[in-house]
Structure 1
Amino acid sequence: MIRFPAVCIPSCQDLLRRRAMEERAQEEMLAAQHTGGHHPAREGEVFNTQYQALRKLGCGTFATVWLCQDMSCDLFPRRKKHVAVKVLKSRESFAEAAQDEVALLRCVSSMKKKDRAGENIVCLLDDFRMIRENGFHACLVFEALGPSLRCLMGNYAARGLPLPFVKKSLQQVLAGLHFLHKRCRIIHADIKPENVLLYGREKSLQRLLPDAFDCGQRTDLRLKGPGGELGNQLEESDLMSIEVKIADLGSACWTYKPFSKEIQTQPYRAVEVLLGLDYGTPADIWSTGCLAFEMATGERLFDPQPGKYFSRDDDHVARIIELLGRIPPQIALSWKKSTKFFSRPGALLRISRLSPRSLHSVLADRHQWTKDEATPFTAFLLPALQYAPHRRATAAQCLQHAWLGAP
């Protein structure tokens, strides 16, 4: 039996850092609890006379998410189920954003019923508004899933997840994107590990996954069974039984009606978005390529940082050029504000020294992949990272790639 890498046992310094992060998150949460801010929910509170809060799963800039019990099932104990309730801030702009998200999710639900597809997209079960001391809050109710890929990745340190699981998860993410892009005409616009959630079809995994901790404050995944902790390792059978679903369509938009020029979380942001150009479904494929690399290696493909004389965006564009080569002038200079990054075709304005390296060499030299491992993975990634969006592989084309089907 193959045994995969052990989870990392946190040091005292890690525990202190984690405690400081938790305290800072709590302070930010308290600061946001005012008119227009988060609702200061408590365990045991009932939302909309139906959903009883059990514990907070996460807190973000725009919303908090609570694990709740659906009390409408109390008359039928065998049907009792958990749901995840997303409570947005009470500011009116968030209510409007929630309406957009609900419209997108209802389209997904409608197309699921019509095509019997889209099982890799999270399900919206209900939505409502409630009034509390900070104002009106839009609330969305989802099926309760497990923690995110980010949690799972935290268990494997810098080594990356086992490749069989990486391939299986990518197949499911790409199938979900194909459904969104072709059937629903939706751009997700924020594919990243935090927005890919784990779940288990088998009853044993359904019992294990709800015990995972909040990834907003903890980045480890502790799966517990009837006998307590499963130990420091996940067996191959347990890992390969885990499925994934794409979640959080809060940044999503229609392919024919983009809501914003600024989309995607920075490390996963497509080059056309960085340059301020028009974007479409290929932007999700770029993010998926970044996700694939991170899952397989444990490191972000691009992790831009600001410097004294350049911005984070400058560094991001530079890192892309270092890895993928010169951006064609017809792309780099097609934006009327191209001087933000370039002084002339191929020349960055604020960063003069680059260190070119190929994707294959990064895998071989930095991550010690063999040629037989690095070559097919590179062949899978590069079509997803094409500069020209119309030349970038589609989700369907990625799904057909030989690397995904290889053992």
Structure 2
Amino acid sequence: MMSCSPSSSSSEEEDESFESYRRGGYHAVKIGDQFAGGRYIAQKKLGWGQFSTVWLAYDTKDEKYVALKIQKSAAQFVQAALHEIDILSAIGDGSPSHTKFVAQLIDHFKHTGPNGNHLCMVLEFLGDSLLRLIKYTRYKGIPLKKVREICTCILIGLDYLHREHGIIHTDLKPENILLISPINPSRDPLSTGASPILERPEGSISPSPSHMEKRLKRRARRMSMSLSMGRGDSIDEYPKRNIEEIDVRCKIVDFGNACWADNQFTDLVQTRQYRAPEVILQAGYSYSIDMWSFACIAFELATGDMLFNPRAGQGFSEDEDHLALMMELLGKFPKKMATSGAKCKDFFDRFGDLKRIRRLKMCPLKKLLVERYKFSEKDANEFSEFLLPLLDLSPEKRPSAQQCLQHPWIKDIDYAPFDIINNGNSLENLNVGMRNLQIAVGK
């Protein structure tokens, strides 16, 4: 239950390493600790990542719960935090009706501790990630009606990032999209009515290194009580709820790796399973890589399985297996894509075939949905027609988020529950410029 994923490369281990609590590393936090002159008071730990820990905190000024992200203090982590603050500040300047599907930065400040100066970000408190929702269904897939609702939220958020701010997220994945409230209501401080902790429990002292080491070891023995976001988490702690009862409105979070389209920092972006082909081939990238990741997420929500999960093998790399999986699902790469990237010659021969993986087992998306996941012909046809344009191997042919919102599979969704109607206005503002757009869907 984090309002931001603390890092785009969160570990699947249960807890951060004790060794990272040192000069330049994490700041040791105790329940009841105060930040920003006493405005924010730590309540409990929500999660952690390679760059930071995230805590549920109580804002004594505005009298509400927030997520407090505390960055490591070394220079490179400070620089990363400054970049994320810059991105989040720009995002927060937009209209409230559109920013509702993107995490909001409330405050930021510097906190000095024994391990150095830590930049801290205060974000809105949100619920579980889409990964936890996928796990809650025991990887059986989420009803398509709910998938459509989730996709609508993500697309509105992406449209806002892309069109209004020129921002590419670059690390869209289920862990980086959070529900607005926890799946388990007992974990929601707003619904339980529990009083916030306003001071340290009596006798509480800052954790010593030996105490912290023992605590981390104890937690490692209690995997079922984990608060991490890794795929190994237990779901038995969740009370059984009908999936239809769960509020699936959600927001895009974690902008630590985001960039402006005209100011990119690195060629290697995106988490492996959600990585677009142009990134693998180093052929340049733009907003369309977010659309590729979005399609992978939509498939995973509907089926419970990752669309692409490559593995290195004897004589071929993980990258080459990834390209082979794409070709098995989507066909041969267009000549331009197979020849234009900086790494194309590493993978393709002059005929556009993979050099080291010669045998491909072709399986079109619709066939996969029907035969493996038992979709009806109607559902498989409609869902594949929505996804295939987003998975076009030519990035320039992929539809934008704005266009996707007008696709028949999405546009009939009842928007009212998403609360994007502001002050009695209809969706007129959102639909400006959309009415005449047509999407060419794959056959």
Secondary structure at the counterpart of residue 157 of structure 1: coil
- Alpha-carbon distance in 1 for matches of 2:388, 2:360: 20
Contact 1:150-1:219 within 8 A present in 2 as well = no
Question: 1:128 is aligned with what amino acid?
Answer: F
- More divergent stretch after superposition (82-91 vs 329-338): 329-338
Q: CA deviation at 1:36?
A: 2.3
Q: What does residue 4 of structure 1 align with?
A: none
Q: What does residue 147 of structure 1 align with?
A: 128
1:216 to 2:224 alignment: no
1:37–1:311: structure 2 CA closer, same or farther, 3 Å change rule?
farther
Q: Percent identical across equivalent pairs?
A: 37
Contact 2:69-2:122 within 8 A present in 1 as well = yes
Secondary structure at the counterpart of residue 38 of structure 1: coil
- More divergent stretch after superposition (284-293 vs 95-104): 95-104
Q: CA deviation at 1:209?
A: 9.3
Secondary structure at the counterpart of residue 158 of structure 1: coil
Question: 1:39 is aligned with what amino acid?
Answer: H
Contact 1:200-1:206 within 8 A present in 2 as well = no
1:183 to 2:196 alignment: no
User: What's the C-alpha RMSD, in Å, of the aligned pairs?
Assistant: 2.4
Q: What does residue 390 of structure 2 align with?
A: 384
1:347–1:278: structure 2 CA closer, same or farther, 3 Å change rule?
same
Which string of whole-angstrom CA distances, capped at 9 and with x for unpartnered residues, describes residues 89-109 of structure 1?
212111111111111111111
- Alpha-carbon distance in 2 for matches of 1:209, 1:252: 35
Contact 1:213-1:221 within 8 A present in 2 as well = no
Q: CA deviation at 1:345?
A: 3.2
Q: What does residue 29 of structure 2 align with?
A: 41
- Alpha-carbon distance in 1 for matches of 2:331, 2:344: 18
Q: What does residue 90 of structure 1 align with?
A: 73
- Alpha-carbon distance in 2 for matches of 1:210, 1:188: 35
Higher-RCO chain (CA-CA 8 Å, sequence separation at least 6): 2
Q: CA deviation at 1:215?
A: 4.0
Question: Normalization by structure 2: what TM-score?
Answer: 0.78
Q: What does residue 365 of structure 2 align with?
A: 359
1:243 to 2:264 alignment: no
Question: 1:176 is aligned with what amino acid?
Answer: G
1:124 to 2:105 alignment: yes
Q: What does residue 398 of structure 1 align with?
A: 404
1:71–1:206: structure 2 CA closer, same or farther, 3 Å change rule?
closer
Q: CA deviation at 1:147?
A: 1.2
Q: What does residue 338 of structure 1 align with?
A: 344
Which string of whole-angstrom CA distances, capped at 9 and with x for unpartnered residues, describes residues 95-146 of structure 1?
1111111111111111235xx4221001100011222222221111100011
Secondary structure at the counterpart of residue 98 of structure 2: coil
Count, aligned residues: 367
Q: CA deviation at 1:350?
A: 2.3
Q: Pick one of 44, 55, 60 that aligns with 1:55.
A: 44
Q: CA deviation at 1:25?
A: 3.5
Which string of whole-angstrom CA distances, capped at 9 and with x for unpartnered residues, describes residues 220-246 of structure 1?
5689xxxxx7x423252x22x331011
Once the two structures are superposed, the pairs formed by residues 226-241 of structure 1 within 5 Å of their partners are: 231-234=239-242, 236=244, 238-239=245-246, 241=247
Which string of whole-angstrom CA distances, capped at 9 and with x for unpartnered residues, describes residues 13-70 of structure 1?
xxxxxxxx98x543x4212222222222222222223221111111111211111111
- Alpha-carbon distance in 1 for matches of 2:323, 2:14: 31
1:112 to 2:118 alignment: no
1:273–1:160: structure 2 CA closer, same or farther, 3 Å change rule?
same
1:149–1:209: structure 2 CA closer, same or farther, 3 Å change rule?
farther
Contact 2:14-2:226 within 8 A present in 1 as well = no
Contact 1:151-1:220 within 8 A present in 2 as well = no
- Alpha-carbon distance in 2 for matches of 1:167, 1:159: 16
- Alpha-carbon distance in 2 for matches of 1:221, 1:69: 27
- Alpha-carbon distance in 2 for matches of 1:244, 1:336: 37
Q: What does residue 275 of structure 1 align with?
A: 281
- Alpha-carbon distance in 2 for matches of 1:285, 1:69: 36
Question: 1:368 is aligned with what amino acid?
Answer: K
1:121–1:210: structure 2 CA closer, same or farther, 3 Å change rule?
farther
Q: Pick one of 293, 304, 310 that aligns with 2:299.
A: 293
Contact 1:199-1:209 within 8 A present in 2 as well = no
1:396–1:210: structure 2 CA closer, same or farther, 3 Å change rule?
farther
Q: What does residue 423 of structure 2 align with?
A: none
Give unmatched runs, 5+ long, in structure 2. 1-10, 195-224, 414-443
Q: CA deviation at 1:213?
A: 7.0
Q: What does residue 268 of structure 2 align with?
A: 262
- Alpha-carbon distance in 2 for matches of 1:389, 1:32: 40
- Alpha-carbon distance in 1 for matches of 2:170, 2:192: 27
Question: Normalization by structure 1: what TM-score?
Answer: 0.84
Secondary structure at the counterpart of residue 56 of structure 1: strand
- Alpha-carbon distance in 2 for matches of 1:377, 1:210: 41
Question: 1:295 is aligned with what amino acid?
Answer: L
- Alpha-carbon distance in 1 for matches of 2:236, 2:34: 28
Secondary structure at the counterpart of residue 347 of structure 1: coil
Q: What does residue 159 of structure 1 align with?
A: 140
